């Protein structure tokens, strides 16, 4: 079941102070009290308002709610982005369909064309093969057993407000984490850092505070919100490898996209 947006229910900002939370609750409770309100849905609204205040009105419960709510929103965003980029192959089929509608195929050259891309098809296919193998290797790295390291949280480094990210430093590693999640971690907490075996990508951070245990994923990672780039790279590599050689323009375009996406994935691996 989806987590309710209590901030929206109380009509307050995410960073509202305790006083602002209490003030919003009192105003809304007075407005929608079943014994005084004339609204038809007063009872339901009053229940939601009380439920929201019970959660946001206490510091510990508010921090736990923020953690759960942010995690759910992150997953929703990942699902939306992945589903958006699953139609690349359909796009390729549409290009071919439209080409057949003309008297001549889309790959036919005009006499005035300056560049003939056909001599480059073989080289571009090699690039596409390498890109496909690279993407496959990164995905394989995700599923292989992870290397784990027992650590102790040393400190929280710089906060990057533009990305809402903070770095959790242990003896040997620096783990990027959402700023809101980092509030659950303190210096001296026992931690276990998991890394992928091939590219040494941060996979997760397990923290034992002595009271609770948490498992966190990196705030920005090729295995998290940026995983859709791997899907696009696989799709464009497939186009570059198996598109008919009579369509050099599409093969060349796929090759250029593969180079760009491969460099982007490499950057995301090592940021």
Cβ neighbourhood burial of 13 (10 Å; 0-12, 13-18, 19+): exposed
pLDDT given for residue 111 in this prediction: 46
Q: Rounded distance, CA 79 to CA 76, Å?
A: 5
pLDDT above 70 as % of the chain: 83
- Classify each residue of 78-98 as buried b or exposed e, where b means 16 or more C-beta atoms within 10 Å of its C-beta: eeeeeeeeeebeeebeebeee
Rg, the chain, Cα only: 26
Q: What is the pLDDT of residues 193-209, one digit of tens each?
A: 999 999 999 889 999 98
Residue 100's H or E segment, with its range, is helix 88-100
Is residue 247 packed enough to be buried (19+ CB in 10 Å), middle (13-18) or exposed (0-12)? Answer: buried
Query: Quick one: average pLDDT of 211-234?
Result: 85
Domain ranges of the chain: 6-82, 102-108+116-271
Measured distance CA(247)–CA(211) in Å, rounded: 62
Of the chain, the percentage scoring pLDDT greater than 90 comes to 26
Residues 65-103: tens digit of each pLDDT: 888 888 787 777 766 555 554 454 554 555 556 556 554
Answer whether 169's CB lies under 8 Å from 155's CB: yes
Q: What is the pTM of this model?
A: 0.50
Q: Do the bridges between strand 155-160 and strand 165-169 make them parallel or antiparallel, or are there none, so unpaired?
A: antiparallel
pLDDT band, very low/low/confident/very high, at 262 (cuts 50, 70, 90): very high
Q: What is the mean pLDDT of residues 130-154?
A: 93
Please state, in angstroms and as integers, the Cα–Cα distance from residue 2 to each residue in 10, 134, 137, 145, following that order.
18, 36, 35, 31
Strands of the 147-152 sheet, one edge to the other: 147-152, 190-195, 202-208, 213-216
What architecture is the 6-82 domain classified under in CATH? Orthogonal Bundle (1.10)
Q: Are the CB atoms for 194 and 146 separated by under 8 Å?
A: yes
**Residue burial 161-184, b: 16+ Cβ < 10 Å; e: rest:** eeebbbbbbbeebebbbbbbbbeb
CB 241 within 8 A of CB 139: no
> If you ran DSSP here, which 8-state letter would residue 262 be given?
H
């Amino acid at each position: 079941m989806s987590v309710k947006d209590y901030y929206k229910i109380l009509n307050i900002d995410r960073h509202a102070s305790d006083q602002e939370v209490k003030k919003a609750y009192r105003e809304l409770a007075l407005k929608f009290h079943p014994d005084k309100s004339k609204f038809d849905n007063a009872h339901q609204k009053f229940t939601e308002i009380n439920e929201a205040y019970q959660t946001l009105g206490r510091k510990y419960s508010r921090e736990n709610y923020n953690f759960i709510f942010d995690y759910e929103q992150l997953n929703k965003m990942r699902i939306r982005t992945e589903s958006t980029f699953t139609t690349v192959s359909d796009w390729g089929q549409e290009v071919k369909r439209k080409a057949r509608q003309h008297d001549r195929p889309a790959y036919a050259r005009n006499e005035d064309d300056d560049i003939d891309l056909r001599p480059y098809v073989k080289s571009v296919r090699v690039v596409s093969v390498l890109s496909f193998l690279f993407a496959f290797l990164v995905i394989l790295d995700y599923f292989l057993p992870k290397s784990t390291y027992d650590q102790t949280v040393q400190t929280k480094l710089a906060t990057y407000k533009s990305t809402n990210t903070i770095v959790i430093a242990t003896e040997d590693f620096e783990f990027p984490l959402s700023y809101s999640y980092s509030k659950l971690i303190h210096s001296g907490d026992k931690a276990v850092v998991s890394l992928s075996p091939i590219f040494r990508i941060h996979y997760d951070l397990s923290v034992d505070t002595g009271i609770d245990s948490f498992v966190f994923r990196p705030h920005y990672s090729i295995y998290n919100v940026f995983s859709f780039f791997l899907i696009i790279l696989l799709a464009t590599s497939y186009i570059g490898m198996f598109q008919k050689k009579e369509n050099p323009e599409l093969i060349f375009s796929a090759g250029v996209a593969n180079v760009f996406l491969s460099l982007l994935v490499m950057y995301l691996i090592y940021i």
